[in-house]
Amino acid sequence: MPFLVFGLLLWVGAHIFKRVAPAQRDGLGASGKAIIAVLITAGLILIILGYRDSPFITVWTPPAFMVHINNLLMLIAVFVYGMSATTGRLRGKLRHPQLTAVKIWAVAHLLVNGDLASILLFGTMLGWAVSEVILINRAGPWERPAPGPAKKDIVLVVITLVMFGVITGIHTWLGVSPFPG
């Protein structure tokens, strides 16, 4: 589990650095972005390797029906994440669509994973997303973008369904079927 913990520390630290130390981050210039990107990537790799290699230590046993709630929340999370890129009517409805999607994703996975490594991973990601939103909101006001055409929202729905299919396919391929058999 040390790789998982170290990866989470790298991920959170690299992401929050520019929020808690903006002057130092700005002082790094363009090369600072590359350093942060490398730290985030290294963190992600360590998270994946650490999570895969962590022992399964049961903390609680989720009820079977939580799988359905997880799947619904994941569909919503994919849609909300996509709102960050939409140019449709939904544009600007949420200030932090990507971070909101991470929060939904984390809660959904906490509902169906009762082992220590999962609680550590998804709980940390939930805490990070909440912290980021608080830090960003404290940094200043938000200028809401103007909404675009409704047809772009239909495209978002189609992309959401396709991406949800891809994500569930990858989970199934990895041996973690998101659908009860």
Residue 37: CA count within 13 A, CB half-sphere: 5
DSSP string, 14-63: HHHHHHH-HHHHHHTHHHHHHHHHHHHHHHHHHHHHHHHHS---BS----
Nearest to 105 by CA among 32, 178, 41: 178
- For residues 113 and 174, membership in a common domain is answered with yes
Number of separate helices (H) and strands (E) present in the chain: 7, 0
- Name the pLDDT band for 26 (thresholds 50, 70, 90): confident
Confidence at 115, pLDDT banded by 50, 70, 90 = very high
What's the pLDDT at 93?
87
Using pLDDT thresholds of 50, 70 and 90, give the confidence band for residue 100.
very high
15-24 average pLDDT score:
88
HSE, CB side, 13 Å, CA atoms: give it for residue 51.
16
Rounded distance between C-alpha atoms, residue 96 and residue 136, angstroms: 9
Confidence (pLDDT) at 181: 65
Domain that holds residue 98: 56-181
Q: Are residues 18 and 80 in the same domain?
A: no
Residues 131 and 44 in one domain: no
**Are 101 and 141 in the same domain?**
yes
On the question of pLDDT at 116 being above 90, the answer is yes
pLDDT in tens, 124-151: 999 999 999 999 999 889 888 888 898 9
Compute the distance between CA of residue 50 and CA of residue 142 in angstroms, rounded to an integer.
37
3-state percent breakdown (helix, strand, coil) of the chain, nearest 5: 70, 0, 25
Q: Residue 9: CB partners within 8 Å, gap ≥ 6?
A: 43
Confidence class for position 169, pLDDT limits 50, 70, 90: very high
pLDDT in tens, 52-85: 999 999 999 999 999 999 999 999 999 999 999 9
Do 13 and 92 fall within a single domain?
no
The arithmetic mean of pLDDT across residues 156-174, rounded, is: 93
- Looking at the structure, do residues 42 and 125 belong to the same domain, yes or no? no
| Domain count along the chain | 2
Residues 36 and 66 in one domain: no
Whether residue 96 sits in one domain with residue 21: no
- The two three-digit tokens of residue 180, written as one number: 């009860």
172's enclosing H/E stretch is helix 151-173
Residues 126 and 91 placed together within one structural domain of the fold:
yes
